[in-house]
Chain A
Amino acid sequence: MADTMGHSATATRNTKVALGFCLLAIAPQIFELIWSIGTIFGWGTGRGPAAVVTGHATALLAGAPSAIFGSFGGGTKKMSSEVLLALIYSYPLFAVAILTLFMTIRSAQDYVGGVVLMAVALFALWASSDLQGMRGFSFGAGTAPRMFGGLLVALSAGIALTGLLTNGPAMAHYSWRGPLFVVAAILFFALSIRSLGLVVTAFSSFMIAATGSHETRWLEAVIVGACLTVGCAILFPYVLGLPMPMYPRFLNQ
């Protein structure tokens, strides 16, 4: 009340948080869009990007609202998975995002943590929505996932509420360099182990991962990386007999 400065600061931060939640609310749709770009180049199967955009846009803007009103009218026609995604996942998160604007967040760590966990739970509810439910006394495939999904929604709401009611730590600081390069190293390993073989893959991944720390001394890293690669090349395929290619595929032919 007295310190208006602090208040306005919270207000701007709340807007940011709310915007973040909005982005989270359409994250699966964005992910499918990015994934669908691959179909242009003929990777994988699925719908093209245009179909994905129109499908989700209609579901978000028209399909879901009409489904809500339709249910009042007693309409029980089967809804498409896009409409269900909008209904089960996106709309509740939009609602949370709007509510966030009017809240005083006392512990951003708990509040954001709770809401994101809730998003995971809602997503699981959507993912298991097509599964069969109870049949008489016997559980269906979808009973347990929905049960635990619902429970997690409640628990994460509780955590978010704690973030509003009790004082606690603010958001922790995230750094980008470590996660980026470590994940890049893992991705590179996964994508190239089959075609490039253990020797090339292990050494390259080592160097990519080493880039993740500003303490890295390059010469030293190259030497250790090379030794490690040799060690792995002896240990895994020979001593343990793991079936994995050693050298790039094009060298074998």
Chain B
Amino acid sequence: MTFIRALTGACAAALASLGALVAPAEAQTYPTRSITMIVPFAAGGPTDVVARIVTSHMAQTLGQSIIIENVVGAGGTTATTRAARAANDGYTLITGHMGTHAASVPLYPKLAYHPEKDFEPIALLAGTPILILARKDFPPKDLNEFVTYVKANAEKVNAAHAGVGSVSHVSCELLHSILDIKPVGVPFNGTGPAMNALVAGQVDYMCDQIVNAVPQINAGTIKAYAIATPERNPSLPNVPTTAEAGLPKFQAQAWNAIFAPKGTSPAIVASLNAAAVKALDDETVRKRLLELGSVIPRPAERTSESLATLVKGEIAKWTPVLKPAT
């Protein structure tokens, strides 16, 4: 048992000394103690991984450790509610995503917070592209055929998703609203079981984040029709974008961004934003994010103002899509 303790101790000490070495000698007052970063999903999930990669670098810049606290439940809204009610002193932050800070508004009518009114946007961290995936023996060969086929067989096809409010659920709802169809959505408990069903051919197609899909696509156990981003992704160079494949309206990314409770002082917001931007410029951080298939925001997209615009736009985008669904 002492091993664990020693190990944690060693890690913490290493981190602290690292932080002390790298920390700039600026007489900045703000982070005088460690910062808590709430991650509204389980450790090891896509949001958690992005948060850990970026915050570990931010901690060096800020000269204080950032402790990740995973709070799970109710599609991330439990954690987001807690973050909204936390003290706005800059010591409690949250790594929100498309679901918690946009899609939740139409999905949960009794939501205890509002992404715009209860949070100060800090910085966009990464976008995770969404793919249209299908079982390997699904008849359509490309996206155009897929659209025709699904429209013609809307009564017969089954779309899988990882649970109400999940990225795979809301993005497929967007696809369906663009195609103006209402196929049967088969709910699973998380991405793993949904992917299992797709590999086994029990369901026909699903929309999901790139992370877990790449190895399956490369192994040929499932196929991908298109990626819903403006550009092709380096980890899947052969998969066309939705614009190239003929469905330019379908654009969706599961983005992750840092938020602070409303009323956090502009100076703190600025220093956190600067730390996040610096992390996104770091070679190792970039490399690890790209390995995950993430899209790193361009410099113009990294300001807190642009994040505010993004949140506003995303709420407007998802509300008409998800409102009638619930």
The short answer to whether A and B are in direct contact, CB under 8 Å, is yes
Q: Is B1 interfacial (CB-CB < 8 Å)?
A: yes
Tell me whether B69 and A238 are in contact (CB under 8 A).
Answer: no
A-B contact count (CB 8 A): 10
Smallest CB-CB separation from A241: which chain B residue? B8
Interchain CB contact under 8 A, A239 and B5: yes
Q: Other than the known A138-B184, A241-B4, A243-B69, what 7 A-B pairs have Cβ atoms closer than 8 Å?
A: A238-B5, A239-B1, A239-B2, A239-B4, A239-B5, A240-B4, A241-B8
Rounded to whole angstroms, the CA-CA distance of A243 and B69 in the bound complex is 9
User: How many chain A residues touch the partner (CB < 8 A)?
Assistant: 6
Nearest A residue to B3 by beta-carbon distance? A239
Using an 8 Å CB-CB cutoff, how does the interface string of B74-110 with A read, 1 for contact, 0 for none? 0000000000000000000000000000000000000
> Which A residues are within 8 Å of any B CB, using their own CB?
138, 238-241, 243
* Docked complex Cα distance between A138 and B69 (Å): 38
A-contacting residues, B225-248, CB 8 Å: none
B residues within 8 Å of A by Cβ?
1-2, 4-5, 8, 69, 184
Across the interface, which residues of B come within 8 angstroms of A239, CB to CB? 1-2, 4-5
- The 9 A-B residue pairs with the shortest CB-CB distance, nearest first, are A239-B1, A239-B5, A238-B5, A241-B8, A239-B4, A243-B69, A241-B4, A138-B184, A239-B2
By a CB distance below 8 angstroms, the chain A residues around B4 are 239-241
- Who on chain B is nearest to A235 by CB? B1
Residues of B within 8 A of A238 (CB): 5
Q: Which residue of B lies closest to A137 (CB)?
A: B184
Q: In the assembled complex, which residues on chain B have CB atoms less than 8 Å from the CB atom of A241? A: 4, 8
| Chain B residue at smallest Cβ distance from A138 | B184
Q: How far is the CB of B70 from chain A (nearest CB, A)?
A: 11
Chain A residues lying within 8 Å of B1, measured Cβ to Cβ, are: 239
Q: Can you spell out 5 A-B residue pairs with CB atoms less than 8 angstroms apart?
A: A138-B184, A238-B5, A241-B4, A241-B8, A243-B69
The residue on A at minimum CB distance from B36 is A243
A residues near B8, Cβ cutoff 8 Å:
241
Within the complex, the shortest CB–CB distance from A238 to chain B, in Å, comes to: 6
Q: Give Cα A242 to B260, complex, Å.
A: 25
- Return chain A residues, CB-CB under 8 Å to B69: 243
What distance in Å separates the Cβ of B1 from its nearest Cβ neighbour in chain A? 5
Task: Find the A residue at minimum CB distance from B1.
Answer: A239
Q: In the assembled complex, which residues on chain A have CB atoms less than 8 Å from the CB atom of B5?
A: 238-239
Task: State the Cβ distance, A182 to closest chain B Cβ, in Å.
Answer: 29
How far is A213 from B8 in the complex, measured between Cα atoms in Å? 41
Bound together, the chains give a CA A141 to CA B59 distance in angstroms of 45
Cα–Cα, bound, A239→B184 (Å): 49
